[in-house]
Amino acid sequence: MMLITFWLCLALICYVYLGYPILITTLGWLRQRHVRAGSIYPEVSLIVCAYNEADVIGRKIENCLSLQYPADLLEVIVVNDGSTDGTQEVLKQYADRPGVKILDSPFRQGKAAAMNRAAAVAKGEVFVFSDARAIYRVDSLKKLVRNLRDPEVGCVNGNRTLYKNKSPIFGSERSYWSYEAYIKTMETQCGSTVSVSGAMIAIRASLFEPIPANLILDDAYLALQTLRKGFRVVYEPAAICFQSSASSTRDEALRRQRITAGRFQMLFNARELWPWNDKFAIFELLSHKIMRLFLPFFSAGLFVSSAALVLSPDTPEMALLVFEGQLIFGILALGGWISEKFGWNLGFLGISYYIASGNLASLSGFIRYSKGRHTVLWEKARRAE
C-alpha cells in the first residue's frame, strides 16, 4: 500500500510541476492556434476598483489618462469601495476631469460588487479591469485590445511584470510569474488559457454578466464566463503592466490563501461555473489549477510513504533518494525562512521557501474555505516599493 501511495504521489507532483508544462508545450507546438490580431480601436471602459489606495490612486488615474489610446474612445471609471484612508478625498480631485467617472460607495461590499457597479454604467464595447497598483506601459492598452480583432477571442489577459525592488522574495516571485507566463503562452497556442490576472484583463462588453456577489475570484469568473460562451481567452505578453512584489512571504501567503479558497469555491460549484462545452479547457483547468490545490496532500503522502519505505527491510532505492531529497528541500526552505527573518539575501534558498510557503498557504486556504471563513472582501498584501 505504501509503495502504491509513494509512486502515485510522486507521479502527481511531477506532473503538476513538470509534466503539464512539457505536455502543454508539445500540444502548443502541434496545435498552433494563432490569434488573428490587428490594430483596432474599440471604445474602452477602463475600470479600477479601489479600497484604501490613497497613496497610489492618483498616480493610477494619471497613468490611465496617459495611455496611447484615443481620448474620445477611452473612459476611466474608478469605484471607491468604502475606503477609510482618504482615497475618497483624492478621487474628488478628479471628479470633473474629462474622461474620468468616479463612483463612490460609503460601505465596503467587495470587489465583485464594485466591478458590477462600474460595468452597469460603462459605455465601452470593451471592459478592461485593473488593480489600483498596476501601472500600465503606455502602449499596453492598444496591444491588449488588438487581440479582439479576432472574432473568436472574447477575453484577453495582459502581462503582469514586477518592478525590481528590495523585497526578499522578489527573485522567487519573479521566477514564479515567468513560469506562469510561459504556461499561459503555451495554453493560448492550444486555443485558450485558463489562468488570468486581475491586474489587466479585457472582456467584450457583450460577454460580461454580473459577477455573483459571493464569488471570491472575480478574474477567474470572467475567463470561465467567456469560455462557457464559446469564445477564446488569450494571453498577450506584449501588454505589460508593472506591480511591486509582496513585501514578505507572509504577505504573499495571504494572497495565496485567498486564491486557494476561491479555487475550492469554483471546484465545489463546477457544474454552474466550469466551461463544460470546451473539453480541452477542462483538461487545462484540472492540470493547471485544480491539481495544484492538492499539492500539500500529495507532498504529505509522499513524505509519509517514503519515510515508511525507508524504515522497511527492503527499501527501494528511489524511495530513499526521494526521502533524502525532501529532507534537503525542507532544510533549504528552513534556511530561506531564517534568512528572511534576519533580512539576509535569500538567493537560491528563496525558491524552496517560496514553494514550501505556497503549499502551506494552499493548505491554510483549504481549511479557511472548509470552515466557511472565506470572504469576498479582498485582503491586500503589502507591496514593496
Using one digit for the tens of pLDDT, what is the confidence trace for 261-280?
A: 899 999 999 999 999 999 99
Side-by-side strand order, sheet with 44-50: 100-105, 74-81, 44-50, 126-131, 200-204, 153-162, 232-243, 135-136
Other CB atoms within 10 A of residue 117 CB? 19
Number of residues in the chain: 385
Distance of CA 231 to the CA centre of its chain: 20
Helix (H/G/I), strand (E/B), else coil: 158: strand
* Average pLDDT rounded to a whole number, residues 216-230: 96
**Tell me, what's the pLDDT at 25?**
97
**Tell me, what's the pLDDT at 295?**
94
- In this prediction the pTM is 0.90
Residue 2 has pLDDT above 50, yes or no: yes
Alpha-helical (H) ranges within 218-312 are 218-228, 249-268, 270-273, 279-284, 291-293, 295-311
Residue 379 has pLDDT above 60, yes or no: no
Q: Which residues pair with 100 in a beta bridge?
A: 76
Residue found by looking up cell 508545450 in the block: 25
Closest CA to 245 of 181, 169, 178: 169
Closest CA to 50 of 86, 98, 99: 86
Taking the C-alpha atoms of residue 307 and residue 88, their distance in angstroms, rounded to an integer, is: 57
Q: Which residues pair with 161 in a beta bridge?
A: 242
| Residue that wins the pLDDT comparison between 259 and 138 | 138
Residue 343 has pLDDT above 80, yes or no: no
Q: Which amino acid is at 184?
A: K
Taking the C-alpha atoms of residue 313 and residue 333, their distance in angstroms, rounded to an integer, is: 30
| Residue that wins the pLDDT comparison between 170 and 61 | 61
Residue 100 has pLDDT above 70, yes or no: yes
